[in-house]
Amino acid sequence: MHERRIPEWLRHAPVPSVRDFGILAGLEAVVRGTLISVFPLIMYRALGDAGLVSASYFAVGILSLLAGLMVPALVRLVPRRWAYSLGAAMFVLAAALAIGGSPASVLAALALNTVAAVTTFVCFNAYVLDYISRVELGKCETSRMFYSALGWTAGPMAGVLLLDWWPPAPFLISGAAALLMLAAFWWMRMGNGKQIARARGPASNPLRYLPRFLEQPRLITGFLFAVIRSAGWWIYVVYLPIFAIEKGLGQELGGILLSVTNACLFGAPLLQRWVQRHSIRLAVRTGFLIVTLCFGGAAALQGWPEVAVGLLMAGSAALILLDICGGLPFLMAVKPSERTEMSAVYSSYRDISGILTPGAAWLVLMVSPLAGIFAAGAAAAAYAALLAGKLHPRLGRKKAEAPSAEDPLPAE
């Protein structure tokens, strides 16, 4: 008799690959990209006032920040696979609530969607740090961006057009994509990640692990890159459409330009090869310098709105380069024993920028026209470019030694 063998994939859960993480990120891009241009519109329709919309985003940003910092505590109460699943379920519920259209349901949908994004993001990053080697992180980030390209390219324009055609359509598509993302996650059998034995127990709340973050200059520098990069996207996604409306360029322009810009994501592998041939330091510094020049030029040439919009589009292409390489300084500095905690800290960059950008824009608008926001973004990018000059020149190269404690990073 022939001995019956159990297939290898049933006896041992396969280790998630770079491609698996790319697929998962691509599905999330459909979930979020379809609604990124829709939420501001339905918020304005429901509330009827731009000031109330800004205040709502500010409040949701604070809620999301707190939720992200509490994800490690959640992971200690429930397995990480269930925390990720909860985030995916919140995406579905948010889409269902948004269909209602009332101010209360729209606000609840925005809050749920934002908390879902930060929950899945924390878990996703923790899984990446578990299963992807340090030298493969750049390849993983590129794969994530490439697989996300379709969702972020077609999503914003499709969401706005579908909203006009049949209001529930973009929310049904987003909810269905969230269910597919959840199914793919369970099919990949990522489990709860690798368990690392520690001499001492992990921190049980954000107040205990935030000091560990503040004690590590490399993490602070990487986090600042993420916050400033995200603020640049806030300016492009939120304030460019307002600028276009004020200048008579049309209310659809913002969503169209976002889709056109995100098409650059298909070039992520080419950008990643360029980064590999040079260095992460050069790539990050180049990206922020281009953003500085383009956003600053748009502010200076606000009297020629078509030129200003073109410069902002060029700056957004540099933001995509920063999406590929800007997170690597942080991820490469994370200690294995602090994966979940530092993933939670890192994920808060979205919420920090979501709080700081509207707040700073409100102050700028008190003393200058809308283009002053572009100038403020250019100043922040210039500061990030200065910080990038202090990164280790061999950071991210396969044969380079790990950066030592003597690397020229800021001490504070």
Q: What is the pLDDT of residue 242?
A: 75
Mean pLDDT of the chain: 78
CA angle 258, 259, 261 (to 5 degrees): 65
Q: What is the pLDDT of residue 3?
A: 47
End-to-end CA distance of the chain: 70
Residue ranges of the domains in the chain?
A: 14-193+205-388
41 φ/ψ angles, rounded to the nearest 5 degrees: -70, -50
Rg from Cα positions in the chain:
21
Span 272-286, average pLDDT: 78
Q: At what angle do helices 18-36 and 169-187 cross, to 10 degrees?
A: 170
Classify residue 13 by its DSSP letter: P
14-193+205-388 classified as CATH 2.30.30.140: no
pLDDT digits (tens, 9 = 90+) for 59-111: 888 888 788 778 877 877 888 889 999 999 999 999 999 998 788 899 999 99
Classify residue 264 by its DSSP letter: G
Span 122-130, average pLDDT: 82
pLDDT at 125 over 70: yes
Residue 89: alpha-carbon gap to chain centroid: 19
Whole-angstrom distance, CA of residue 53 vs CA of residue 33 = 20
pLDDT at 281 over 90: no
Q: What is the pLDDT of residue 263?
A: 78
pLDDT digits (tens, 9 = 90+) for 7-45: 544 444 566 777 888 889 899 999 998 998 788 778 877
Q: Which residue has the higher pLDDT, 117 or 238?
A: 117
Classify residue 215 by its DSSP letter: T
Signed CA dihedral, 403, 270, 149, 81: sign only: negative
Q: At what angle do helices 50-77 and 339-365 cross, to 10 degrees?
A: 170
Neighbours of 273 (CB within 10 A): 11
Whole-angstrom distance, CA of residue 388 vs CA of residue 218 = 11
Cα dist from 29 to 25, 67, 147, 157, whole Å: 6, 21, 8, 13
Write the CB contacts of 206 (distance below 8 Å, at least 6 apart in sequence).
69, 70, 72, 73, 344
Whole-angstrom distance, CA of residue 341 vs CA of residue 202 = 9
pLDDT digits (tens, 9 = 90+) for 182-198: 999 988 877 665 543 34
